[in-house]
Amino acid sequence: DGHTFNRPPVNQEMVSLAEALQRMQHSFHVNFNYSSATLANKYVSLEQVPVSGPFSEEKVSKMLLPLGLVMVKITAADYAIRPVRSTVVFNKVISGLISNEKGEPVPGAVVTDKASGKTVVADAEGHYSIEVADAESILVFRSMGYVAKEIKAGTSGLLNIQLLTNIKDLSAVVVTALGVKREEKALGYSIATLDGSKVNTVKEVNVVNALSGKVAGVDIRSASSDPGGSVLITIRGSSSITNSNQPLFVVDGVPVISANRAPSQPIGQVTVDYGSPVSDINPDDIATITVLKGASAAALYGSRAGNGVVLITTKTGTKKKKELNVSVNFTAMFDKAWQFPQFQNEYGAGDATGSIDPTNTLSTASWGPRLDQGTKHLQWNSPVDANGDQIPTDWVSYPNRIKDFYRTGQTYTSNVAVSGNNYRLSYTNLQNKGITPNTDLERNTLNLATGYELNPKIKVTSNIAYTNNHSNNRPTFNRGSSSSIVYTMPANINTKELKNYWIKGQEGLQQFSQDQGNTDNPYFVANELTNGYTRNHLTGNVQVSMELLKDLTLMARTGLDFYTETDESKRAFSAIKNPYGGYAVSNLFSSEQNTDFLLTYKKTLPKEWSFFVSAGANRMDQRANTSSQTAGTLVMPGVYNISNAAAGTIANASYKSKKRINSVYGMGELAYKGYAYLDLTARNDWSSTLPANNNSYFYPSASLSLIVSDMFNIQSKLLSFAKLRLNWSRVGKDTDPYSLYNNFYFNSPDWGDVKLANFSSLLKNNNLKPEIATSYEIGTDLKFFSGRLGVQATYYTTNSRNQIIQTPTTMTSGYSAKIINAGEIRNRGWELGINGTPIAKQFIWEIGANFTRNRNKVIKLTDDITNYLQGSTEGVQYQIREGQKIGDMYGKTWATVPDGPFKGKELLDNTGHSQYATDLIKIGNYNADFMVGITNTFTYRHFTLNTLIDWRQGGKFFSYVYMNLLSDGRTVNTLKGRDLQHGGLSWNDGTTDRTDGMIEDGYIADGNGGYVKNTNITDPETFYGDYYWKMHSRNTFSATYVKLREVSLTYLFSKQQLGHWPVSNLSLSLIARNLFSWTAAGQGYDPETAMSISNGSITPGTTSWSLPYTRSYGIKLGLNF
Amino acid sequence: CTKNFDAINTDPNTATTISPQYLLSTALIKTAYAYQDDAFMGKPAEAGRYITKVRNEGDDLFGWSAENWDSYYGTLSVNKQLYDLAAESGMKQYMAVSQIIRVFNFAYITDLYGDCPYSEALLSKDSGIVHPKYDQQEVIYTDLLKTLTAANDSLANTSLAINTTYDVLYGGNNLKWRKFANALHLRLLLRISSHDATAFTAMQTMLNDPAKYPLFESNSDNAAVKYLGVTSSDSWDGGNLVSEVTEVNKYKPSKEIVDTLLSLNDPRLAVWIAPVASETGYTVDGNTYVGVPNAIPSPYDYNGGEAHISELSAIFYQNANDLLKASLMTYAEQCFILAEAVQRGAVTVSDETAASLYYKGITASLEQNGVKAGTYMEQPAVVYKGTLSQLITQKWIALFLKGAEGWFDHRRTGYPAFVPGPLSAIRNIPSRYIYPTTEQSYNLSQYKSAVARQGADQTTTLMWYLK
């Protein structure tokens, strides 16, 4: 009703507001905070000003409100007077995400509205929401181990907060070996922890992939671009010559079955990568991943931990009663085949451009006539005339022939998790369709975590994860794979015409192919040569912890990990390698059971000393059974049952193995004043795989952690925290079962009704000793500017001795190899981690970077052997030479002029062709010189942008694909010399005049001890064959790359935006993987997946036929009920 | 702590010992199939000028790189286990056949490479020798011949029977084994005859006592293991269970063999070689059967392309066929060996002349290939002339894609006169294989002393009996 607050009304005794407040301060002993500008020209009637009785906030507020002011309580007797901002729509509910300086959510953080005292607790993902009085309300965020933070509520309704670790109170707890929780500051070795959120935003089908670029010292390489494929992980370099160098995976304290399995060639030619059982671990269920690097941190996991340990802790229920939390998320990812070799589209099929043979153009090579010139030639799909002769047809190119074959890969992941008082149940469904037609993967995971307190002193917890994996068909690799076929098709073939792959009237019997009778139709391979599998995988444990006495606790646990898998491969009739079809079925069973206990005594002594000691024991039992039946010839087409095998063709195989390791161990910590910690561990293993007199081995470790900043009481704004770590440790290693004696077995199938006995050409050894790896580590953790910048640096060296290796021996000795103890391999390296928060206001910018550099050296092999052939693929030898490095690749190179003015130039043979140098030369090492991972997170109001850059510098890869495509004229770099237009020379090959002459650059012996420049003319096919095909060194490239591996843009909806919807924490993310990739090699080959996937092994450093590199886009939706 | 460890680490998948017969079958099949692999798809077929490869023709250019010998030594390792198990239980019959298999393989290795590990070979398990020395070929041959005599004697003096099923070569026939030992003995003696003065004397001693040294008497004595054609491991190399058609199509009959058979109107031509697909449009050779010359540029384009080049006949594309056997040695070869020795006047064979033995060799080969002689042997070019060239040429034909003897005879005698092609890396047909590269990795010092003694590790270096 027309009040004007700025003018004192008449008839009433008015006082200025400032005076009124002063009166109240005096009467009630309260304190008002205001700025004089706020109170200027404001009056109240004296009646309204309370001066007696109890202080009533309500009365004062009533008095203030008409003046457009509010009163906010700060503390018990402190109030602030502020204007009401009537122009701003004020949100009563503030919600947001609380994270730490590493960008990880801080679960359970306490949020308090300073004015009202209202308090809420953030959920497990760091989400909170709180009602506040107004935008000026001050919210206080507190969490154990973090510096409390006060911030104005603001008006947007969304407030994301970053808390900094309290360096004075470094009680952050990490999970270490045997599931023991320790304060991070007490650890004398480097440990890396990743929060689950770091691996499930841009979700990978195989969670190991999600570690890429995120942890210093860890080298992750996907075997292919297929999301369900194998991933190789190496921590601090390869230490073993013969073993896989893969770390041990431990889920909730229980080791799981070997992380990787070898690819296989079930039947016929193609190689199948079934992925690794470790990929069954569902990213949505992961609370944290801890990487224990090197032997040091792993001393307590025994034998298998020599290559490091990846500890995965799964999510559990909350401790709060009567709370039910339902979280749902959905991710859709789309993979697009992206990088291809640079195929040429100018020349079609043919053996030689100048060939006189009209059927020349039916060749699979690409040296044929020029395309798109209006000419006609005989070709693969030429119709037949009345006489049965093929008719030449239009000679045109199909530049999209490769891309046309691949489809958009799709991966949909849906997760629902219900958690409440001491339980969490989660279900995940994953549906994947690969970029190769007819390939897929389906995964269902059920995860249950429960806990129960029998009484305050006895707690029981249990985790069970069940995963079912199913695929109708996995992508295939290497020779015979659809990729190898599509890549090698000449440019005049239209892939789309191959889609109907049966010959009319002979469906199920005879395929129709671009190279009839010689090469499979790629669609036939995709649809009729399938390799499916079903794996049921169960991982579970039950753990009891008891407080026996004051300071004395007992933990007992048993865990089981097992899977059964059925692989089934089908080959239709008319397959090139299985003309009468084929069928293979195999069953795998693998289990590992671990039972252990740990007794711990903890005590704080007078004079600021404290200690704990633990002692425990473990029994591990591993079992594996496999059986398979393979038939390379069927009787009835299309019937895939082993009984349909042609008589006598079934090859049977079965294998069983068992292994047991018994261990006792102890560890202790002595701490002084909370700044000096000495850790000692000791373990003794007894392994069933070693000879009775050598099967017991002991290994200790010692580590020291000094909080230097506390010791010397450094209190500087610049350096807020400094810690020094020192560590020395040893790990013993055993070997595979049955490595002691050679025995006899039968080959399968039999030779008719005759059995063929055989024995391994590997000579076993009943005098084996355990391997020993010794490592030293020194490191520091520093924090600057009150924790805004953190630096971690570690230098380590690990020597592996007495390795149990299969040293190759000359076959003339009767055996191709012999198991011996030999060798010494050293790995040395640096790991650096930096994380900082340059800006932490409304706009938050967090940056994290890690740097890894490992140097490997083969110190010694054995007295007899200075050169060990680790393996060989596509003609490249992986030799381990004394004084050199693991990962060195040796290949063929060209001969050079030995003397004279042309010394060092290429020496050709008398006819002007390349010739080999006698010795193989080192063409490179597949390991990187260093690796860098950089993450950036930008948060502004609702938006969070996350990027991960992965940079790998150095290393080499040999591309068999490059060599193959080039030697058959399939890529653009083979155009030179094809005809006059492309610089070809006119010449006569003895029968025909041609215009595709080329001269190899080099010198020829003149017969008189001198050398002359080569002038012999040859054709392009020979030229490129000589120049590239013959020489591995010319097909070897730098493996350096920089990838924008992950990008995600997340929009977090505020409570207010969601209104009265019964949902919270709704977020929507746009995600992308491999958005950008730069490779030093160019050429369309991905150095990361430069691997050869062949029967029994995945060999890094050499490419064989694989899938094109992909770029992925997707969307993620997450919410809670 | 280690209770039950023995039981846990006892391999349930294998047996600690086994009856020798199960290793006999393995050793025989490995020996025969590997030897035949080489004879059809390996270098001996190209050096013996039976085959010209028209794609991936690297081997045809004779710029041979190192050749692996693991499969031969692998077979010898199996064979040694066979011998050791038989010796443990005094099974003399298996010891003797194992010795014959041993000689066959070692002889083949030294014929391919020259000096090779012999006396210290195969002893990694027994004596821990992993760097066996290379013995001189001369020494190896002396011991091989001695071993054959002993095996023949041992089999003559034992009544112990070889398992009929597991003896996939002779079905447990001791006599046939002795014949094979003696025929092989003759092959080896002829091979060293120009460098070992006692060779022909030794041959004569054998020929003088047929009861003690029985020899092959007909094709039924041939040492050959059949193919079953059921799985890839028991099928002929050219069949679709083993090789793709594209692969076999690279193996064209050589110009030398086709032209020789054509000029002799040889009835075996049609058995072995397919007529060209098209007789019109050729460029240089208008015959119905066209072989490809050695080491020419773009051999697939020869004569106007592959439609104008002969393929091997259809049987060579089969998984199994009565005409396809993994042949170790044939009666025909024995006839030609004796014919050559008699022709030289070095030995006499009762009731036989060089001519009769020559005709017997041809007849045996024709019979083996299922063709009638007709007037073949009456042709002037076939009628026995007493020249080494004619004799070796007929032996070469008879051994078409059987073993390495075609190449070895050329090496020894210079016949038939092969002409390496324009792109050939060397002037002559190679004389030997280059040692496996693995030897330089795993047996370097022994390798070096062998090379120092024998000569550079090249294909042109002459081994002892070729010097």
CATH of B21-122+132-221+436-466 given 1.10.150.120, 3.30.110.40, 1.10.10.10, 1.25.40.390: 1.25.40.390
Q: pLDDT band at residue A213, thresholds of 50, 70 and 90?
A: confident
pLDDT digits (tens, 9 = 90+) for A736-762: 899 999 999 999 999 999 999 999 999
Mean pLDDT of A942-959: 93
Residues ≥6 apart with Cβ < 8 Å to A309: A177, A247, A248, A249, A250, A291, A292, A297, A298, A301
* Number of C-beta neighbours around residue A681 at 10 A: 23
Residues of chain B with pLDDT under 70: none
Distances (CA, A) of A1098 to A143, A221, A262, A278: 46, 11, 7, 16
A993-999 and A1003-1005 beta bridge pairing: unpaired
Q: How many residues does chain A have?
A: 1121
Please report which helix (H) or strand (E) contains residue A110, including its range.
Answer: strand A110-113
Tokens found for residue B345: 């006047």
Look up the CATH number of domain A14-83: 3.55.50.30
Q: pLDDT band at residue A5, thresholds of 50, 70 and 90?
A: very low
Has residue A950 got a pLDDT over 80? yes
Amino acid at A1056: Q
* Residue showing tokens 């017997």: B360
pLDDT digits (tens, 9 = 90+) for A855-869: 999 998 877 777 777
At B381 the three-state DSSP class reads: coil
Asked if the Cβ–Cβ distance from A356 to B70 is below 8 Å, we say no
User: Which residue in chain A is spatially nearest to B18 when comparing CA positions?
Assistant: A744
B414 touches chain A (CB under 8 A): no
pLDDT digits (tens, 9 = 90+) for B68-120: 999 999 999 999 999 999 999 999 999 999 999 999 999 999 999 999 999 99
Residues A597, A617: contact at Cβ < 8 Å?
Answer: yes
Quote the CA–CA distance of B61 and A846 in Å, as a whole number.
65
Residues A720, A167: contact at Cβ < 8 Å?
Answer: yes
pLDDT the model gives residue B181: 98
Amino acid at B161: A
pLDDT the model gives residue A771: 87
Asked if the Cβ–Cβ distance from A815 to B125 is below 8 Å, we say yes
Q: pLDDT band at residue A3, thresholds of 50, 70 and 90?
A: very low
pLDDT the model gives residue A197: 77
Environment class of B339 (CB within 10 Å of its CB; exposed 0-12, middle 13-18, buried 19+): buried
Min Cα distance B371 → chain A (Å) is 29
Distances (CA, A) of A502 to A474, A481, A522, A528, A847: 22, 18, 12, 10, 56
pLDDT the model gives residue A9: 43
Distances (CA, A) of A659 to A258, A528, A591, B2, B11: 13, 39, 11, 12, 11
All residues of chain A having their beta carbon less than 8 Å from the beta carbon of residue B305 are 355-360
**What is residue A465's DSSP assignment?**
E
Quote the CA–CA distance of A998 and A514 in Å, as a whole number.
30
Q: Name the residue among A20, A123, A125, A33 with its Cα closest to residue A64.
A: A20
* Bridge partners, residue A333, by sequence: A411, A1114
All residues of chain B having their beta carbon less than 8 Å from the beta carbon of residue A651 are 231
User: Which residue in chain B is spatially nearest to A867 when comparing CA positions?
Assistant: B441
* Bridge partners, residue B53, by sequence: B251
Q: What phi and psi, each to the nearest 5 degrees, are found at residue A210? A: -75, -10
Has residue A850 got a pLDDT over 80? yes
Asked if the Cβ–Cβ distance from B422 to A689 is below 8 Å, we say no
Asked if the Cβ–Cβ distance from B443 to A989 is below 8 Å, we say no
Q: pLDDT band at residue A1065, thresholds of 50, 70 and 90?
A: confident
Nearest to B241 among A632, A737, A818 (CB): A632
Amino acid at A489: M
pLDDT digits (tens, 9 = 90+) for B279-299: 988 999 999 999 999 999 889
Q: Name the residue among A652, A600, A611 with its Cα closest to residue A629.
A: A652
Quote the CA–CA distance of B445 and A254 in Å, as a whole number.
50
Residues A676, A709: contact at Cβ < 8 Å?
Answer: no
Task: Encode B199-257 in three state secondary structure.
Answer: HHHHHHHHHHCCCCCCCCCCHHHCEEEECCCCCHHHCCCCCCCCCCHHHHHCEEEEHHH
Lowest mean pLDDT among A164-173, A602-611, B138-147: A164-173
Mean pLDDT of A640-667: 94
Extents of the domains making up chain A: 14-83, 93-163, 248-338+407-480+520-740+753-887+926-955+1040-1120
Lowest mean pLDDT among A12-21, A344-353, B376-385: A12-21
Quote the CA–CA distance of B380 and B40 in Å, as a whole number.
31
B405-413 helix and B174-192 helix, angle to the nearest 10 degrees: 30
pLDDT the model gives residue A6: 41
Nearest to B438 among A761, A810, A864 (CB): A810
User: Residue A30: how many CA atoms within 13 Å on its side-chain side?
Assistant: 28
**What is residue A810's DSSP assignment?**
-
* Bridge partners, residue A268, by sequence: none
CATH 1.25.40.390 maps onto chain B at: 21-122+132-221+436-466
Min Cα distance A689 → chain B (Å) is 6
Task: Encode A1050-1115 in three state secondary structure.
Answer: EEECCHHHHCCCCCEEEEEEEEEEEEEEEECCCCCCCCCCCEEEECCEEEECEECCCCCEEEEEEE
pLDDT the model gives residue A12: 60
Has residue A8 got a pLDDT over 60? no
Asked if the Cβ–Cβ distance from A814 to B6 is below 8 Å, we say no
Asked if the Cβ–Cβ distance from B244 to A658 is below 8 Å, we say no
State the sign of the Cα–Cα–Cα–Cα dihedral A341, A347, A348, A354.
negative
A747 touches chain B (CB under 8 A): yes
Amino acid at A866: T
Quote the CA–CA distance of A501 and A507 in Å, as a whole number.
9
Distances (CA, A) of B140 to A813, A814, B192: 16, 17, 12
Min Cα distance A373 → chain B (Å) is 24
Quote the CA–CA distance of A873 and A1092 in Å, as a whole number.
7
Distances (CA, A) of B33 to B28, B227, B229, B328: 8, 9, 13, 9
Amino acid at B199: A
Q: Name the residue among A188, A189, A235 with its Cα closest to residue A211.
A: A235
Triad B245, B246, B248: Cα angle to 5° = 65
Quote the CA–CA distance of B238 and B225 in Å, as a whole number.
16
Has residue A357 got a pLDDT over 80? no
Has residue A783 got a pLDDT over 70? yes
Q: Name the residue among A595, A603, A609, A596 with its Cα closest to residue A552.
A: A603
pLDDT digits (tens, 9 = 90+) for A43-61: 877 777 877 777 877 788 7
Triad A719, A721, A722: Cα angle to 5° = 100
pLDDT the model gives residue A11: 52
pLDDT the model gives residue A1: 36
A811 touches chain B (CB under 8 A): yes
Residues 753-772 of A with CB under 8 A from B: 753-759, 761, 763
In the CATH scheme, what is the homologous superfamily, with its name and number, of domain A93-163?
Carboxypeptidase-like, regulatory domain (2.60.40.1120)
Mean pLDDT of A355-381: 88
Tokens found for residue A830: 């640096």
Residues 969-998 of A with CB under 8 A from B: 989-991
A812 touches chain B (CB under 8 A): yes
Look up the CATH number of domain A248-338+407-480+520-740+753-887+926-955+1040-1120: 2.40.170.20
A771-784 and A789-808 beta bridge pairing: antiparallel
Quote the CA–CA distance of A144 and B139 in Å, as a whole number.
85
A:B CB pairs within 8 Å: 228
Asked if the Cβ–Cβ distance from B284 to A696 is below 8 Å, we say no
Distances (CA, A) of A770 to A187, A578, A616: 28, 45, 22
A627 touches chain B (CB under 8 A): no
Amino acid at A72: V
User: Which residue in chain B is spatially nearest to A1026 when comparing CA positions?
Assistant: B58
Environment class of A538 (CB within 10 Å of its CB; exposed 0-12, middle 13-18, buried 19+): middle
Q: Name the residue among A1094, A1117, A1120 with its Cα closest to residue A1105.
A: A1094
Q: Which of A747, A810, A994 to mutate to test the interface with B (most CBs of B within 10 A)?
A: A810
Mean pLDDT of A587-593: 94
Tokens found for residue A660: 């047991």
Has residue A86 got a pLDDT over 50? no
Asked if the Cβ–Cβ distance from A751 to B25 is below 8 Å, we say yes
Has residue A28 got a pLDDT over 90? no
Lowest mean pLDDT among A100-114, A435-449, B205-219, B229-243: A100-114
Quote the CA–CA distance of A555 and A602 in Å, as a whole number.
14
B51-53 and B251-253 beta bridge pairing: antiparallel
Q: pLDDT band at residue A295, thresholds of 50, 70 and 90?
A: low
Has residue A686 got a pLDDT over 50? yes
DSSP string, A238-306: ---SSS--PPEEEETTEE-S-S----B--SSS-EE----GGGGS-GGGEEEEEEE-HHHHHGGGGGGGG
* Number of C-beta neighbours around residue A872 at 10 A: 15
Residues 302-341 of B with CB under 8 A from A: 304-307
**What is residue A189's DSSP assignment?**
S
A376-377 and B51-53 beta bridge pairing: unpaired
Residues A375, A369: contact at Cβ < 8 Å?
Answer: yes
